[in-house]
Amino acid sequence: MQRNPQLNANGELQHLLSTEGLPREILMQILDTAESFVGVTEREVRKVPLLRGKSVFNLFFESSTRTRTTFEIAAKRLSADVINLNIALSSQSKGESLLDTVANLSAMQADIFVVRHNSAGAPFLIARHVKPHEHVVNAGDGRHAHPTQGLLDLFTIRHYKKDFGKLTVAIVGDILHSRVARSLIHGLTTLGAPEVRVIAPQTLLPAGVEALGVRVFHDMRAGLKDCDVVVMLRLQNERMRGALLPSAQEFNKHYGLTGDKLELARSDAIVMHPGPMNRGVEIDSTVADGPHSVILPQVTFGIAVRMAVMSIVAGN
Amino acid sequence: MKLPDAERVCDELLKELKAVLGPKSAMIGIYTGGAWLAERLHARLGMATPLGLMDIAFYRDDYHARGLHHDPKRTKIPFDINGREILLVDDVLYTGRTVRAAMNELFDYGRPASITLVVLADRGGRQLPICAQHCGARVEVPEGMRLRLKRDDAGRLALVLEAERAA
C-alpha cells in the first residue's frame, strides 16, 4: 500500500495537503496545539521562538490576500522569516515549470512552502519533489482542498460546541466549486460529527457528493432544521463556467441565509463563513453581523491553527 | 533505592516558602509535575494572586531535533507579571533546560521583579548555570532512569523512578 503522502515513516505529519485521509489523532493534535497558540496570540509579546532561523516561502500561484496574510502573520509569530512570492505575476508567466520554480526556491534554502495553486494536486506534486527537511502546506488547490481553512472551521466549531459527537452541521451554497466544503466535510466525518448536511441546488453540487458521507438537501428550510452549525459558502462567480444559476438574486431568495431562515436552526446555532462574504447574496447583513455569527473569530483562530500546522510539520 | 516521601518534602517546602512570601509574590507552576506541586503549595499558602500555569513546549531548545510534543497545554498567567516576585515551581530539577525555557517564556509576558526557583527534588546533572533557591530534596538517580512526580486519584504526590524513554 502506498504511504499517505502527508505522513512520514513514523506516521507524523510531514506535509499538510488535505484533511482527507488524516487520522483523528493528527487532527486532534493540530486542534490542541492551536488551542495553546491562541494563548500566545492574546499576550503582550505575540511571538514564540520556535521557527527562528527558518524560512517560510509563500508561493501563491493564484491571487489571495487574506489567506496569504494569515499565513504570513502565523509564520512571523513563530519567528520565521517570510518571503512572499506572487508567482502569478512572475516566473510562470515567463514559462518556467512548477518544479523548476520550486527547485530554485529550494536552492534559496526554504524550510516550508505554503502553496496555493489553481490546479488541484499541485501541492502534492511539489511535496513529492522537495527535500526531506522541506515541508509543504496546501493553502488551496483548485476545487480540491483547503485544509487549513477546514481545520480552522473545525477549531471554531469545537471552541463553541466543545464536542463533535452530537452535532448537526449544514454547509450551504456553492459546494461544487468549494475546496473549503470538501476539507471541512472530511474533517467532520473523521472527528465523528453524526450528521453533515449539504444544502445547494443540484447545479452547485459535485456528482456523487453523498459518497463523502453527507445528507443532501435542495430545500434550505428543511436542511437548516435543528442545525447546531451553519456554514455559508461564498458564491464563486470567478469559478463559474456556464449558467449554473439564473441570477444572484434568485440564489439569494432560495439559498441566502436570512434571519427568518436561521430561526429554523437551533437557538444556539453558530453561523460561519470562510470569507470574503457577498452580503445580500449568500448571507444577509443582519445575520453576518448578528449574535449567531462567529465569522470574525474564525479569522483570529485561523492564525493560531496555521501556527500549529507550521510548527508541527517543521518539527517532524 | 529509597526515594524521599514527596508529601513530607512538600510540607518542608511550605514552611520555607511561608517565610519568604511578600505582598508582590506570585506563583507559576510548570506542566505537568510542577503544576501539581504549585497547585498544592499555592492553596496551602493561601496566596491572594491566582496561580499561573505554564507549558514550555514552544520554548524548548530541542524542538529542531524532536519536534513539537503531542498534547501541549495552554499557558495561563492570570495576572500582570510586571514587578512581581515570581516563585517558579517545577517537580524535578535536572539539566536546567526546562527552567531556561520557562524563563524565556516568562519574559514574553513582561518584566518580573525577580524569579525564584522552587523544586521538589534536585537530581544534579546540570547543563546550564541554574540553581534552585528552594529545593525539597536531593536525589541520586541511576543512569538511564528518570525521576518523575506522580499524582494519584486522591491527589497524593509521590516521586517515582522510571526507565528513560528512548530519544
Q: B157-163 and B145-151: which strand pairing?
A: antiparallel
Residue A262 has pLDDT above 90, yes or no: yes
Please write the tens of the pLDDT for every residue from B64-117.
888 887 778 999 999 999 999 999 999 999 999 999 999 999 999 999 999 999
Own/partner pairs, A118-121, CB within 8 angstroms, 24+ separation:
A118/A61, A118/A62, A118/A142, A120/A144, A120/A145
Residue A260 burial class via C-beta count within 10 angstroms: exposed 0-12, middle 13-18, buried 19 and up: exposed
Query: What is the rounded CA–CA span in Å between residue A224 and residue A265?
Result: 5
For helices A98-107 and A122-129, give the axis angle rounded to 10 degrees.
50
Q: Whole-prediction pTM value?
A: 0.92
Structure-block grid coordinates of residue B46: 493561601
State whether residue B166 sits within 8 Å of chain A by CB.
Answer: no
What's the pLDDT tens digit per position in A3-40?
Answer: 789 999 999 999 999 999 999 999 999 999 999 999 99
Whether A246 shows a pLDDT value over 90: the answer reads: no
pLDDT of residue B12: 96
Residues B67 and A273: their CA atoms lie apart, in Å, by 33
> What's the CA gap between A213 and A221, in Å, rounded?
21
CA distance A27 to chain B (A): 11
Measured between CA atoms, the residue of chain B closest to residue A308 is B68
pLDDT reported for residue A111: 96
Say which residue the cell 499557558 belongs to: B75
Are A142 and A179 in contact by the 8 Å Cβ rule? The answer is yes
Contact B57 A36 (CB under 8 A): yes
Tell me what ipTM this predicted complex has. Answer: 0.85
Interface test with A, best of B28, B108, B109, B111 (most A CBs within 10 A): B108
DSSP symbols for A19-65? STT--HHHHHHHHHHHHHHHHHHTSSS---STTTT-EEEEEESS--S
A12 neighbourhood in chain B, CB within 8 Å: 67
Q: What percent of chain B has pLDDT over 70?
A: 98
Say yes or no for a CB contact (<8 Å) between A40 and B58: yes
Please say if the pLDDT value at position A250 is more than 90. no
Quote the pLDDT of residue A245: 76
Q: What Å distances lie between residue B100 and A237, B35, B82, B117, CA to CA?
A: 53, 17, 19, 11
Q: Which of A14-18, A236-240, B39-43, B91-95 has the lowest mean pLDDT?
A: A236-240
The pLDDT tens digits of the residues spanning A57-95 come to: 999 998 888 899 999 999 999 999 999 987 766 656 667
